[in-house]
Amino acid sequence: MVRVIVNKVTSSIATIFGASVVAFVLLRVLPGDPARLIAGSLASDEAIAGVRRQLGLDQPLHVQYIRYITDFFTGDWGFSFSSGVPVKEILGSRFPATAELALYAFLFAFLSALVLALLATYREWPVVDGVVRALSSFGLGTPPFWFAILALIVFFEQFGLLPGPSGRLSSATTPPPLLTGFYTIDALVAGQFDILGEAIKHLILPVVSLGLVPFAFLVRLLRANLLEISSEPFIVVVRSKGIGRWLTHVRHALPNAFLPTLTASGLILAELLTGSVLVERIFTWPGVGALVVDSIKRQDFAVVQTFILLSASLYILVNLVVDILYGVIDPRTRIPTTEAR
């Protein structure tokens, strides 16, 4: 087991190395000239040469790469070209908003997928199953940013049921005292229930918009797994012991169907990361995703570069953890891996 983990960790490190080379080539080697971008199009040649020296762009490529990679892993992510603030600081201040949104979006996606997949496969009612499958293909085919606009048109502009694109709270409300950075939790701890209600109202549309793709993906996966498990002999055994249909479905089929969805965690994370880039700006949500889109518009690529490499690292890390966890939870998957070595 230890050997399997060591193998997985080393191959992940190799992947991170490969990914950093890809990112380096794309973001540092290819762009016309970042120095010109920073110095401005009217800068003199000497000024540009100065910036190049300052950025180390006059060094050979392998030296540049080593500097690039040590800077990244030591947290020296440079300064935002447009505001001059360290990238680390901007990202840090934006992170809680994105984390709160992503957490609730994940819970929404996961719980609704669980319930709907259970209903769709229980007794295999064709109408319920049809509706669930239609919802899933709608979710997989919908651009999340378009869904967000649609949701705003219906629930804000037409019926006025939910707040419009005003971020995490109305502009007149002061945020709850800072504790976790999650407004819902902070407001609850401080006992400010009116602010809690407002934070929840502001969360609903962004959460559903961000959770739509992960939901569609999960419900599809869970449904297929449940159908497969339901036809296995052990389910017949459980049923013939006299255990009810629903209990069999929930207690015996679900845990077995659920396990393979763990491997999809990396994909869910990827959906949440890219989804935040696509959805946040629509709700003027003050998170990392909106920051990335604004930085693209301002050609502030220091921020965007850091975000890209950070997402890749996070993605690899989650996939590694899931890989190891899966071996711990399901002993059957260990055997082939050890045999292959």
What is the DSSP secondary structure assignment for residue 264, as one 8-state letter? Answer: G
Q: Which of 297, 328, 329, 338 binds other proteins (CB under 8 A)?
A: 297
Nearer to other proteins, 46 or 339 (CB): 339
Residues 6+ apart with CB under 8 A from 263: 322, 326
Distance CA 44, CA 46 (A): 5
Nearer to other proteins, 120 or 187 (CB): 120
Q: Which of 51, 195, 278, 288 binds other proteins (CB under 8 A)?
A: 278
Q: Which of 189, 308, 321, 322 binds other proteins (CB under 8 A)?
A: 308
Distance CA 203, CA 100 (A): 9
- x/- mask, other proteins, residues 200-229, rule CB under 8 A, reads --------------------x--xx--xx-
Helix, coil or strand: residue 325: helix
The CA distances from residue 248 to 71, 117, 124, 236, 340, in Å, are 54, 15, 14, 9, 36
CB 198 within 8 A of CB 171: no
Burial track 31-55 (b if 16+ CB lie within 10 A, e otherwise): eeebbeebbeeeeeeeebeebbeeb
- x/- mask, other proteins, residues 36-75, rule CB under 8 A, reads ----------------------------------------
Place of tokens 């939790």: 185
Q: Which of 13, 25, 61, 250 binds other proteins (CB under 8 A)?
A: 25
Nearer to other proteins, 38 or 277 (CB): 277
Nearer to other proteins, 196 or 291 (CB): 291
Q: Binding residues for other proteins, per CB under 8 A?
A: 14-16, 18-19, 21-23, 25-27, 29-32, 137-138, 140-143, 145-147, 149-150, 152-153, 156-157, 164-165, 220, 223-224, 227-228, 269-271, 273-274, 277-278, 282, 292-293, 296-297, 301, 304-305, 307-308, 311-312, 315-316
